[in-house]
Structure 1
Amino acid sequence: MPFLQARTHRLHYADSHPDGSPSDLTFIFIHGLGSSQNYYFPVLPHLTSHYRCITIDTYGAGRSPYTNETVSIPSIADDIIGALDALKIPKAIVVGHSMGGLAATDLGARYPDHVSGVVAIGPVHPSEMLVTVMSKRADTVLESGMEPMANTIPFAAVGSRSTELQKAFIRELVLGQDPTGYAALCRAIASAQPADYAAVKAPFMLIAGEEDKSAPMEGCKHIFDQVSSQKKSLEVLKNVGHWHCIEAADEVGNLLVKFAGTL
């Protein structure tokens, strides 16, 4: 299993074309809380015949070991730049889901020279309610492990079209987390400040779930309206909750192909 070194973090990753991209465009993917790079694998078949796709387990999540460092949204973004440098990729389309959507917009704002485009999937806009929810989650998993999250998230955070198999996949993603790493990422979300949305000028697409309670439409529209990109679009997936790439893999895959075709 391949790992790369990004700053002080050893990150597990997958690379669809380790010998180079079949085109001028490369995608790099940042997953959300309680997830891993595997979240994106249902959409990759739409992309890999034309584009290089890099999927990474965020520090403290999936198979990337947690070593007790404090995590923040900017540190996640900095790790992505470290990964691009390690792989000698000068520029990429950054795709981020939920917590990863925060990091993707932060990348677009702070590292414009490294970003060909930004796709935010169900990005979470920081709020006081989010501080309370994430702080409580951190305490819960440190006390009781991942079971309480695995027994609730796959059922409460999906839309009405989700299947039992999709819920089982989400449950497995959640159960696979290190509780200490998960808690650190909860705190990263709780302490997050809104990215400088207006500084995002690269082509931008926001994909929202019509039934997403974790990243409500109000927050998604706020982010979308604040982004300065001249080329931007807001796509809403019907009957979809917060786990877009699992609940609606074909729609998300097709939207990513369409987005890349405009660059």
Structure 2
Amino acid sequence: MPTVTVNNHQIYYADSHPDGAPADGLTTFIFIHGLGSSQNYYFPILPYLASHRCITLDTYGAARSTYTGDAISIGSIAADVVGVLDALHVAQAVVVGHSMGGLVVTLLGAEYADRVKAVVAIGPTHPSEKLATVMTQRSDIVSDAGMEPMANTIPNGATGPHCSPLARSFIRELLIGQNPKGYAALCRAIATAPVIDYSAVKAPFLLIAGEEDKSASMEGCQHIFGEVSSAHKKLEVLAGIGHWHCLEAPEEVGKAIASFAGGCLMT
């Protein structure tokens, strides 16, 4: 698997079009996963975007992008994403983020507008006192007991009623394979995340929410959606789906993003 070094971090990634410039009409997407996840979270939806260039990456401190002790913030993750785009000579991309990655892509839309063609936020978390408390507690738990407590609870607790046993087992594998120190650092990044100026996001914007999502509440998603000032924005709510949208409902998520791309990006 290829790597790129940005901001002194070795980032693992995959690229559906590694030879460079996309063909006419081909849009570049870059995908940022959530806490306790990896680039593989997105692979079930990539077939629906096969006509586009898709770059998936492991965030520094997660999965294969080894944690080396550096501080992590939502801002530093966003800077790493821009660094990956620079290294791969991508001037502008659709930024897709799930959960923690949703925080990252809304920040990119607000602060790196020249690099962002559109924003897709999947179950984005909205900074709050409650979220900070939960993330601080998680950081303490994994620092003391490793990843098993998260792997034993999240696959069932954070998914909807229609989630398959196979998807839940994959979520468990994603979690159990994390470096506890990296996971704890990412928890702290979420706990200390500033409230983003959503009104500064003017690029086309798609928000995909899960009706049964307890981690990224409908109230929070509606607040983010309402504040975004894009002239072209859309909210998709997936019935019966929890927080792991791309694993619980890959066909619905993939088709929603493909439709969004076809409707507002082919210009």
- Same fold by TM-score greater than 0.5: yes
Deviation sequence 1:71-114 (CA, Å, 0-9, x none): 00011111000000000000000000000000000000001110
- How many Å separate the matches in 1 of 2:114 and 2:188? 29
| 5+ residue gaps, structure 2 | none
1:49-60 matched pairs, under 5 angstroms: 50-60=51-61
| 5+ residue gaps, structure 1 | none
Deviation sequence 1:209-257 (CA, Å, 0-9, x none): 0000000000000000000000000000010000000000000000111
1:158-237 matched pairs, under 5 angstroms: 158-237=159-238
The Cα shift of 1:24 comes to: 3.6
| Alignment-derived partner of residue 12 in structure 1 | 12
The Cα shift of 1:19 comes to: 1.1
Deviation sequence 1:26-84 (CA, Å, 0-9, x none): 00000000000000000001112x10000000000010011101100011111000000
Deviation sequence 1:151-176 (CA, Å, 0-9, x none): 00000000011011110000000011
- How many Å separate the matches in 2 of 1:36 and 1:188? 17
1:10-159 matched pairs, under 5 angstroms: 10-20=10-20, 21-22=22-23, 23-48=25-50, 50-159=51-160
Q: Please state whether the residue corresponding to 1:187 is helix, strand or coil.
A: helix
**More displaced stretch, 51-60 vs 14-23:** 14-23
Q: Please state whether the residue corresponding to 1:152 is helix, strand or coil.
A: helix
- How many Å separate the matches in 2 of 1:27 and 1:6? 19
- How many Å separate the matches in 1 of 2:115 and 2:26? 14
Q: Please state whether the residue corresponding to 1:151 is helix, strand or coil.
A: helix
**More displaced stretch, 150-159 vs 11-20:** 11-20
The Cα shift of 1:196 comes to: 1.1
- How many Å separate the matches in 1 of 2:86 and 2:8? 13
Runs of 4+ residues over 3 Å off in structure 1? none
| Alignment-derived partner of residue 251 in structure 1 | 252
- How many Å separate the matches in 1 of 2:250 and 2:4? 27
Deviation sequence 1:86-143 (CA, Å, 0-9, x none): 0000000000000000000000000111000000000000111111110110011011
Q: Please state whether the residue corresponding to 2:91 is helix, strand or coil.
A: coil
Q: Please state whether the residue corresponding to 1:131 is helix, strand or coil.
A: helix
- How many Å separate the matches in 1 of 2:255 and 2:177? 28
Q: Please state whether the residue corresponding to 1:65 is helix, strand or coil.
A: coil
Instruction: Give the AA of the match of 1:29.
Output: F
Percent identity at matched positions?
64
Instruction: Give the AA of the match of 2:181.
Output: T
TM (norm. structure 2) is: 0.97
Q: Give the count of matched residue pairs.
A: 262
- How many Å separate the matches in 2 of 1:117 and 1:177? 30
Instruction: Give the AA of the match of 1:16.
Output: S
- How many Å separate the matches in 1 of 2:230 and 2:101? 19
